[in-house]
Structures are given as structure tokens and as C-alpha cells.
């Protein structure tokens, strides 16, 4: 029997991806730099080694480690009311007081003509209908640039679920910031319309620490390689099942398929997981720095794979991936939703900046936005084991195609990449988020 059909057949009944997801979500917290994050890396190394990945190991890197403390939010006018709130990662300790000002979705239009100097700015987790996604770090950055005293992020959906997320990439933010539920956000928006005021107090600290990446290899020892990554860290308020336990489980599923078909691989494949994605792609940056990126033919980023039934691929300014994905789709008889999307907010970005073509495997989501992600409702029960297997098989088939000697994916031109972002209107948001490369100006 041919190695590829045999490997795929074995994957149909493989419970290992589900077992990996279970082990990760059973940890108390996988917040970057904390004990659960390190334990997650150990689980991954064990799973990769069991799959047959060679030299599977952990690799530490320096990381500013943020630790959550108490958080208090109180409306002081026109009523006196306390509301539940949680601090946002990399929020500094401190107290912010001032009038409440709504910035809507936190897009540039939400700040146009609005005086936020000394205010506590309120912004939704959502993005303007029909417009591009507005990242949380952009909203916070615009508030800080306008002189805000504090920032409050409220969920766009109901369910009493504050949505967390880092304020800055790998460093402490400038102003205290917190997240509240959609229901609390509705009250804050109403008080802002009435000229209300609020007091926000955050107790948190950041100190030098260590994150842990993992990686190992399959296939022949060639001068070039294909790199497959997923992030194993997650926010401390939930299980991190969808974001990104699913991606890690998908990577392990792919590793097991690739190991079973290792004889047909024509290029070395490096598989691993990174920490610190949720706090600014710190682990991915460390991994990119540790590798010879000139020797990396392509990166496959599994941030978002395995979450929902239909696999979605973001091309990230490399149209040549579309033909390879079409070949995989035809061979597997399984749909892949291909989107010509480019964004800097996941682990492909440090590689893309270094000129490495990168494709991100995600999922077609039932609604716009994060859904359950970054909330305490991101739990294992929302995952389908069948989807983990199928996305793992599709990822493995994609990697096999990218590892063929005759497959050529053009390297990303930095000038083209920059212009694509400018043309898409993303420069101002990336500047606000502090992720626009200084060398591009």
C-alpha cells in the first residue's frame, strides 16, 4: 500500500490529537512565561517524539512575563456604580480617572474630532461593518496617542464574557486598561453619552522571564526546509481550546501523518510550537532569529486551524500558495477556503518580515470576530475531534506539496509587502499598534 493513503487512513481513527488538546486544556493556565506554558511545551515535545519527529526539544527565549492582579472599575458620575472588569495583558499597574468617552469600534473614525485627553476611553471588540478588522492593539494605541488616561475594551457579543488580549507586543503598555462584558459595555456607552466619569484601577506586574518554544524535524537532511508552527500559549482566563489548542492538536495530527509518509518527503520539515503569541509574537520572533531564514522555503502557520469544519487559508501576499492549495483540495476532495488576506497579528509575521513566504491555516468561522476566543468560554467542549483529524491531514498534504523539490514559492518582496499594507490602509493601524517596521519609513 502506498505510504500516503496508508498514512491518511491511519489518521481517520487517531485519537492522539484529541488527547493532546485534552492535556493542554487541563492545565490551569498557559499564559506565556508561566508554569502551564512550560508544561504545555513539554506535552508537545512528548507528542512530537511519539509521532516519530527527530530531535524534538524545547528552546527557551527571554520574555517579559506579565502577571495578573486585581482590577476594579467604578463609574463615578452621574451614578456611583461598580462593574466587573479584568486587566488586559501588559497593562501597567495604576489608577486612571476621567470622563468616559466612547471611541466606537476604535477605528480612526471613532477618534476623529473626539477629545480623549485625560479620558477613560471605551471601545468595542468589534470592527466597522463591511470594513477591515481593527485590532485591539490599534484601538489602545490610538487612545494612548490621544492622551487618554485609561482604556476599557468591551465585548461585542452578549454572555457576560470580557474578552482579553495583549495591549502591546512584548512590552508593558502606557496606560491602565481593562476588559468588560458586552452588557457592562452597554452601560459604559450610555454613561459616556451622558457625560459620565469613571475610575479604573489595575494591579499587575511585569518582570523578566523565560518562554519556551519547541521543534523537531522530519524528512531528509536537506539545505532548505519547510517550517510548520502553532502557538501553544493561551490567555490565563480560559482553557484556550480554540485559541490555540486546536492549532497545536492539528500540528500533532499533521506530524503523525507526515511521519507515516516520511519516505516521500523531498525536503526537511521542521515542526514545532511557539509561546508568547498572545503577548506579541515573542516566541515566533525568537524562532525566526534562531533559524537561517534564507534556508526556509515556506512557513505554514496553524493559528486557527482545527476550530471549525472548513479549513481557511490566508495567502499573506503570496498568490503562488493558491495553486498548491488547489492541488491539495483536489487530492483530498475536501474544500479549502482560500482568502487573499495579509495581516501582521500572528506567528507568520516575523518570518514574512524576513522574506519567507508564509501561509496561515485558519477556519471558516460562524461569525465575524473572535467568537469564544480570548474569553473564559474558550473550552474543549466546543471542539470536534473529527475536524482536528481532517485539518491535520490537509495540513500534512500541504506540507508534502511544499516539500517537493519542484515546488517553488517566490520569496516575499519587502517592497511589495509594504505597498500591499499601505494600499490596504493598514499602515496607520499598524503604527498605532506599534508593529509597523521602522525600517519601512
Within 10 angstroms of residue 425's Cβ, the number of other Cβ atoms is 11
Reported as a pLDDT band with limits 50, 70 and 90, residue 5 is confident
Does residue 433 form part of some domain?
Answer: no
Q: What is the pLDDT of residue 131?
A: 82
What percentage of residues in the chain have a pLDDT greater than 90? 93
Residue with cell 516575523: 350
CA angle centred on 135, ends 132 and 136, rounded to 5°: 150
Whether residue 423 is predicted with pLDDT greater than 80 in this model: the reply is yes
Does residue 22 form part of some domain?
Answer: yes
The residue among 175, 206, 237 that closes a domain is 206
- Tell me: do 231 and 338 sit in the same domain: yes
Q: What is the pLDDT of residue 253?
A: 98
Whether residue 19 is predicted with pLDDT greater than 70 in this model: the reply is yes
The residue among 191, 206, 221 that closes a domain is 206
- Tell me: do 216 and 117 sit in the same domain: no
Which residues span the domain enclosing 91? Answer: 67-206
- Per-residue pLDDT averaged across 328-338, rounded? 94
- Tell me: do 402 and 364 sit in the same domain: yes
Does residue 216 form part of some domain?
Answer: yes
Whether residue 256 is predicted with pLDDT greater than 70 in this model: the reply is yes
The residue among 185, 206, 227 that closes a domain is 206
- 143 vs 130: which has the higher pLDDT: 143
Q: Are 355 and 412 in contact (CB under 8 A)?
A: yes
- Tell me: do 245 and 366 sit in the same domain: yes
Tell me which of 112-121, 313-322, 406-415 is least confident: 406-415
Mean pLDDT, the chain, rounded, equals: 96
Within 10 angstroms of residue 59's Cβ, the number of other Cβ atoms is 16
Reported as a pLDDT band with limits 50, 70 and 90, residue 66 is very high
Parallel/antiparallel/unpaired status of strands 150-154 and 268-274: unpaired
User: pLDDT digits over 266-285, tens only?
Assistant: 999 999 999 999 999 999 99
- Tell me: do 199 and 230 sit in the same domain: no
3 state DSSP class of 373: coil
3 state DSSP class of 131: coil
C-alpha cell, 381? 467542549
- 6 vs 116: which has the higher pLDDT: 116
Whether residue 1 is predicted with pLDDT greater than 70 in this model: the reply is no
Measure the CA–CA gap between 232 and 273, rounded to whole angstroms.
Answer: 6
pTM over 0.85: yes
Bridge partners, 214 (sequence order):
58, 273
Reported as a pLDDT band with limits 50, 70 and 90, residue 7 is confident
Q: Are 246 and 182 in contact (CB under 8 A)?
A: no
Q: Are 307 and 365 in contact (CB under 8 A)?
A: yes
Q: Report the run of H or E that residue 272 belongs to, with start and end.
A: strand 268-274
C-alpha cell, 63? 520574555
- Tell me: do 101 and 189 sit in the same domain: yes
Whether residue 222 is predicted with pLDDT greater than 70 in this model: the reply is yes
- Is the previous residue joined to 383 through a cis bond, with omega within 30 degrees of 0? no
DSSP secondary structure code for residue 28 in this structure = S
Give the total number of structural domains in the chain.
2
* Cα Rg of the chain (Å, integer): 22
- Tell me: do 253 and 401 sit in the same domain: yes
Measure the CA–CA gap between 3 and 9, rounded to whole angstroms.
Answer: 10
DSSP 134-201: --HHHHHHHHHHTT-SEEEEE-SSSSS------SSSSS--SS-EEEE-HHHHHHHHHHHHTT-EEEEE
- Tell me: do 217 and 159 sit in the same domain: no
Q: CATH number, domain at 99?
A: 3.50.30.30
What is the chain's percent helix, strand, coil content, to nearest 5?
35, 25, 40
Does residue 215 form part of some domain?
Answer: yes
Reported as a pLDDT band with limits 50, 70 and 90, residue 8 is confident
DSSP secondary structure code for residue 364 in this structure = -
- Per-residue pLDDT averaged across 236-250, rounded? 98
User: pLDDT digits over 32-41, tens only?
Assistant: 999 999 999 9
Does residue 432 form part of some domain?
Answer: no
Residue with cell 485591539: 136
DSSP 47-63: HHHHHT-EEEEEEEEEE
DSSP 279-332: TTSHHHHHHHHHS-GGGEEEEEE-SSTTSSSSEEEE-TT-THHHHHHHHHHHHH
Amino acid at each position: 500500500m502506498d505510504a500516503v493513503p496508508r498514512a491518511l487512513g491511519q489518521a481517520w481513527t487517531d485519537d492522539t490529537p484529541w488527547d493532546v488538546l485534552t492535556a493542554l486544556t487541563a492545565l490551569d493556565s498557559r499564559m506565556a512565561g508561566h508554569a502551564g506554558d512550560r508544561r504545555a511545551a513539554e506535552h508537545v515535545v512528548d507528542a512530537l517524539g511519539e509521532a516519530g519527529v527527530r530531535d524534538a526539544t524545547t528552546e527557551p527565549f527571554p520574555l517579559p512575563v506579565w502577571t495578573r492582579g486585581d482590577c476594579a472599575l467604578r463609574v463615578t458620575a452621574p451614578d456611583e456604580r461598580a462593574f466587573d472588569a479584568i486587566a488586559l495583558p501588559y497593562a501597567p499597574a495604576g489608577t486612571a480617572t476621567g470622563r468616559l468617552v466612547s471611541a466606537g469600534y476604535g477605528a480612526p473614525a471613532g477618534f476623529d474630532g473626539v477629545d480623549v485627553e485625560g479620558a477613560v476611553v471605551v471601545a468595542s471588540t468589534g470592527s466597522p461593518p463591511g470594513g477591515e478588522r481593527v485590532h485591539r492593539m490599534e484601538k489602545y494605541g490610538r487612545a494612548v496617542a490621544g492622551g487618554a488616561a485609561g482604556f476599557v475594551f468591551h465585548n461585542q457579543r452578549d454572555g457576560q464574557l470580557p474578552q482579553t488580549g495583549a495591549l502591546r507586543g512584548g512590552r508593558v503598555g502606557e496606560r491602565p486598561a481593562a476588559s468588560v462584558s458586552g452588557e457592562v459595555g452597554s452601560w459604559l456607552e450610555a454613561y459616556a453619552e451622558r457625560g459620565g466619569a469613571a475610575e479604573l484601577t489595575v494591579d499587575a506586574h511585569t518582570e523578566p522571564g523565560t518562554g519556551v518554544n519547541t521543534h523537531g524535524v522530519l524528512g531528509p537532511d536537506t539545505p532548505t526546509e519547510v517550517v510548520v508552527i502553532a502557538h501553544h500559549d493561551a490567555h490565563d482566563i480560559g482553557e484556550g481550546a480554540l485559541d490555540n489548542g486546536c492549532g497545536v492538536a492539528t500540528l500533532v495530527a499533521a506530524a503523525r501523518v507526515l511521519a507515516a509518509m516520511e519516505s516521500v518527503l523531498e525536503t526537511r520539515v521542521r515542526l514545532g510550537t511557539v509561546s508568547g503569541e498572545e503577548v506579541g509574537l515573542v516566541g515566533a520572533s525568537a524562532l525566526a532569529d534562531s533559524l537561517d531564514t534564507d534556508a526556509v522555503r515556506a512557513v505554514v502557520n496553524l493559528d486557527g486551524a482545527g476550530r471549525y469544519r472548513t479549513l481557511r487559508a490566508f495567502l499573506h501576499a503570496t498568490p503562488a500558495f493558491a495553486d498548491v492549495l488547489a492541488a491539495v483540495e483536489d487530492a483530498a476532495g475536501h474544500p479549502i477556503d482560500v482568502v487573499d488576506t495579509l495581516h501582521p497579528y500572528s506567528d507568520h509575521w516575523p518570518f514574512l518580515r524576513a522574506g519567507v513566504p508564509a501561509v496561515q491555516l485558519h477556519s471558516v468561522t460562524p461569525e465575524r470576530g473572535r467568537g469564544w476566543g480570548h474569553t473564559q468560554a474558550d473550552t474543549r467542549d466546543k471542539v470536534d475531534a473529527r475536524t482536528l483529524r481532517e485539518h491535520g491531514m490537509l495540513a500534512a498534504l500541504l506540507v508534502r506539496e511544499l516539500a517537493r523539490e519542484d515546488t517553488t514559492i517566490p520569496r516575499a518582496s519587502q517592497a511589495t509587502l509594504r505597498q500591499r499594507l499601505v494600499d490596504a490602509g493598514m499602515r496607520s493601524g499598524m503604527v498605532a499598534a506599534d508593529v509597523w517596521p521602522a525600517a519601512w519609513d
